Each structure stands twice: as structure tokens, then as C-alpha cells.
Amino acid sequence: MGSRVGIAICLILGFSGCSSLDFYSQAFGGQWRILRDRVPIEDVLQALDQTEETKSKLRLVQEIRIFADQSIGMSVGEKYTSYVELQRPYVVWNVFAAERRSVQGEHWCYPIVGCAPYRGYFDGDDARRFAASLEADGFETYVAGVPAYSTLGWFDDPVLSTFLDWPEADLAGLLFHELAHGVVWVDGDVAFNESFASAVSEIAVAEYFSSGGRKRDYQQWIERRAAWRILKARLLDLKASLQTVFQETSPAETKSSLYQAFRDQYERDKSLFNTERFDRLVLTELNNAYLVSLGAYEDWVPAFRCLYAAQGAWLEFFAAVNHIAELDEAQRVEALRACELIPE
């Protein structure tokens, strides 16, 4: 089992430093502790020392699993049947880095598993120390706390305390998203995998919350996602502008003015977001390294949504997606572009 844990950890943490004994040790230890500390949800529900709020959310998880299995046709197996109480705000921290005149970002490459634009740590202090070492070498860095991840079927993933207190629709969206990775997965095609999972999540959350007393939760979820998509589109525009600027001879002043113009525009348009949750990011943390962390990973969501509408049922949709997944990359892109032409 040890070798299996090690391979999975390389995948989980973005292939981050598994060639390094120290890194491998902390990664192995972090994942092993999560596996060791799993408690069956049924036991947690019977525990006298557990809060009613936690129990209520875990019952919701059980309902979502049943819905995913019986109404959608996902093979849920034993995923999310256990719970781990983590005494920290995130399960892992990812470190991104970029040169002061680049938004391409640093990549760390390792044998067999390839390259990724970040390194992941189960300990926040380890992540911050690594970031500090990069900053000492002249890089801009961004340390991103990650509340959840999927082992992509290597293990039966538990529910983690780091995301259990999310709003109900967000929690459901996360679970549907991660379960979708077990339905279709294309090695090496992040945009395809994440777009598919995001589309499944959006459609499934809409179906799950379409009746009963949870419509308000769903509407708030829609509003939060809409606000983030507006901001993300603007951030990607900023990234593209900086990419152009960094090709110039002396871009420092232009770089500074672009960042300041972005912050000024954000302040003027706060009513669009109806939230202050982006303030810290935009006003204090935004830099080249953060922009590296943004990927166009949902580009194909409209295509998958249209394909679902055309198929009219989950199992037919999954079969169509699996067919596309078997194509080579160029053919997949062509097929997804054709899907975008289907009226939703």
C-alpha cells in the first residue's frame, strides 16, 4: 500500500517535489495521517461530543451521495462515507511563483509524472518557508490554501472539516465536481477534466436544489459564482495585458499602472460583486504569481452543458462524453467546438 500512497501523493500535490526526499516525506506523512484519521460518518452522527451543525452537514453529504448514485448514475462507491477533523483551515497549501516580469510562472518537473506550476504542502509553515526562499531569489509568490482535493480514485476520499462549513450549495457543488472526476478522466487534459466536472456540478446542483426549501441556497450559489466569473474574466484580461507589457524593454512603470488601474476599477464596480470577499485578494495579494494560479480551466463548460441538453439524460450524456474522451487531443477540441454550436 505504501507505494500506492506515494504515487497518489505525487498526483494530489501537483507532482510537487516527489524527487526530493524531504518533500516526499512530508507529502507521504500528510496523506497518511488523513487516511489514518478517517472516522465513519455513521459513527460521527452517533457521537455525543459532536455539534449538531456538523451532523446536519454530514447528513446532507449522505443525501448528496444518494442523489448522485440514484438520480445521476455516478458510481460513488465508498467515497465521502468517512470524516476527518483537521485542526487547520486548509488541507494543503500550494505555492506559485513568477518572475517580476512574467506571468508564465515557475514549473517544477519530476520523473514520470511531469511538470506543474506549483508545489503543495500539508503544512502551511512549510509552504510559507518555501515561498520565502523563492522571494529571496527575486520571485513573486502566492500561497494558496486549498480546502479540498481528490485522490482520483486511489483512495475513498473522506469529507474534511476544511470544507464542511461551506454553504450547502457550495458543499454540494464540490462533491458533485469531485465525483464527476470518477466518471470521466483524460490523462493530461486539465481543461477537459475540469470543464466536465464543473458542468456536471452546475447541472447537478440546479437539479438537487430545484425543489423544496433550498431554492434560496441555490440562488445565492448562482450569485457567488457569477460574481467570481466576472472577476476572473477581468483578471485574465489583466494577465493578457501584462503578458504584452512584459515584452517591452522597460515595463516596470506600466506594470504598476496596470495593477493600480485594476484595483481602482474593482473599487468602482464593487456593486457588481455584492461582496467584500475579494477585497483581500485584489487589494493586498494580487501579483504575477497569483495570476499564474488562474487557469482557463472552465473554457469548455458551455460545450458540456449544451451536450447535456442535447442528450437529455445523465447516462446518455456520460456515454457521449466518454466517446469524446477517447479521441486524441485535436479531435476532442473539434468535438467540443461542435458541441458549443448545439443550442442549450
Tens digits of per-residue pLDDT, 162-190? 999 899 999 999 999 999 998 998 887 88
Closest CA to 281 of 235, 319, 327: 235
What's the pLDDT at 151? 80
Looking at the fold, whether 175 and 241 belong to one and the same domain comes out as: no
What's the pLDDT at 342? 65
What's the pLDDT at 253? 75
The rounded average pLDDT for each run of 10 residues, N- to C-terminus, in the chain (344 residues) is 43 47 82 94 94 95 96 93 95 95 82 65 95 97 91 87 93 94 86 92 92 75 89 94 84 86 93 84 94 83 94 96 96 91 62
Instruction: Indicate whether 206 belongs to any domain.
Output: no
Looking at the fold, whether 134 and 280 belong to one and the same domain comes out as: no
Q: State how far the Cα of 199 lies from the Cα of 211, in Å rounded to an integer.
A: 20
Instruction: Indicate whether 86 belongs to any domain.
Output: yes
Closest CA to 31 of 49, 70, 4: 4
Domain count, the chain: 2
Looking at the fold, whether 222 and 84 belong to one and the same domain comes out as: no
Instruction: Indicate whether 274 belongs to any domain.
Output: yes
Helix axes 301-311, 314-325, angle to 10 degrees: 130
Looking at the fold, whether 181 and 253 belong to one and the same domain comes out as: no
Segment 241-268, tens digit of pLDDT: 999 989 876 666 789 999 999 999 999 9
Looking at the fold, whether 97 and 21 belong to one and the same domain comes out as: yes
- Which residue segment(s) compose the domain that 19 sits in? 2-190
Looking at the fold, whether 175 and 264 belong to one and the same domain comes out as: no
- How far are the Cα atoms of 259, 267, 310 from residue 262, in angstroms, in the given order? 5, 9, 39
Instruction: Indicate whether 298 belongs to any domain.
Output: no
Q: State how far the Cα of 249 lies from the Cα of 264, in Å rounded to an integer.
A: 26
Q: State how far the Cα of 237 lies from the Cα of 74, in Å rounded to an integer.
A: 36
Q: State how far the Cα of 244 lies from the Cα of 109, in Å rounded to an integer.
A: 26
What's the pLDDT at 114? 47
Q: Which residues contact 35 (CB under 8 A, 6 or more apart)?
A: 5, 155
What's the pLDDT at 270? 86
What's the pLDDT at 247? 85
What's the pLDDT at 154? 80
Instruction: Indicate whether 271 belongs to any domain.
Output: yes
Q: Coil, strand or helix: which one is 85?
A: coil
Residue for cell digits 507505494? Answer: 3
Q: State how far the Cα of 293 lies from the Cα of 314, in Å rounded to an integer.
A: 32
